[in-house]
Amino acid sequence: MSPSLPEALSAVPRHRAFIGLGGNLGDVQARFRAALAGLHGLPGTRVEAVSSLYSTRPVESSGPDYLNAVAALQSALGPRELLHALQALELAHDRERPYQNAPRTLDLDLLSYGGYRCHSAELTLPHPRMMARAFVLAPLAEVMSSLGAPSDVDAAVGQALPDAASRLALAQSQGIERLGPLDWAA
């Protein structure tokens, strides 16, 4: 008898991944909670930490202000499998892509995966624009600090974050406001 998928995945190494959450249509906080539960329920995956919620003016987009957060995961899924799972969660939450940077119900971006680097039509890691976006950097820095050992975390991101003063200046220029914790249960 062959082992079940959870049993088979128990021997597979886990990699730390950081996921950016965003949205500006509908009940975004409810969608974030459902997406986090969905991530936590993926085979061989658990959510380690979640940042506070941040309100953000649209960047290269339109519509109402966005809510953003970042989650840290440990996952046995490979980067492409994790990307496909993120896209499936977006679709389950009515994500439409009528044009680039359209307002959205839920956006789940794979920011980094265990320091893995790749560049293809399907996936680029680390995320190519995260260092220029305060709505990623502020919650990412917060969740990274909650995880402890900075050198391990920097290795998982694949690059060092800008210093605190640079992140603050970027946040002020892009209109980022920390709102408080996102309540969710695993």
Q: Which tens digit of pLDDT belongs to each residue from 136-163?
A: 999 999 998 888 755 555 566 766 788 8
Instruction: Please tell me which residue in 16, 31, 95, 133 is annotated as part of the active site.
Output: 95
Q: Which residues contact 115 (CB under 8 A, 6 or more apart)?
A: 155, 156, 157, 158
Q: How is residue 8 written in tokens?
A: 């088979």
Question: Which pLDDT score, from 0 to 100, does residue 130 have?
Answer: 84
b/e per residue 9-26 (b: at least 16 CB within 10 A): beeeebbbbbbbbbbbbe
Let me know if 107 is a catalytic residue: yes
Is 186 contained in some domain?
no
Q: Cα(132)–Cα(111) distance, rounded to whole angstroms?
A: 13
Question: Which pLDDT score, from 0 to 100, does residue 98 have?
Answer: 55
Number of domains observed in the structure of the chain:
1
Is 20 contained in some domain?
yes
Helix (H) or strand (E) holding 49: strand 45-50
Q: Which residues contact 59 (CB under 8 A, 6 or more apart)?
A: 133, 135, 174
Domain that holds residue 10: 5-180
Q: Which tens digit of pLDDT belongs to each residue from 74-88?
A: 999 999 999 999 999
Is 57 contained in some domain?
yes
Instruction: Please tell me which residue in 16, 109, 133, 167 is annotated as part of the active site.
Output: 109
Is 39 contained in some domain?
yes
Question: Which pLDDT score, from 0 to 100, does residue 186 have?
Answer: 67
Is 54 contained in some domain?
yes
Instruction: Please tell me which residue in 107, 117, 129, 178 is annotated as part of the active site.
Output: 107
Question: Which pLDDT score, from 0 to 100, does residue 139 have?
Answer: 94
Is 63 contained in some domain?
yes
pTM of the full predicted structure?
0.87
Tell me if 91 sits within 8 A of 34, measured CB to CB: no
CATH number of 85's domain = 3.30.70.560
Let me know if 95 is a catalytic residue: yes
Question: Which pLDDT score, from 0 to 100, does residue 112 have?
Answer: 92
Instruction: Please tell me which residue in 14, 57, 80, 104 is annotated as part of the active site.
Output: 104
The stretches in the chain having pLDDT less than 70 are 1-11, 95-102, 149-156, 158-159, 186
User: Closest by alpha carbon to 139, among 72, 58, 54, 55?
Assistant: 54
Is 185 contained in some domain?
no
Is 109 contained in some domain?
yes
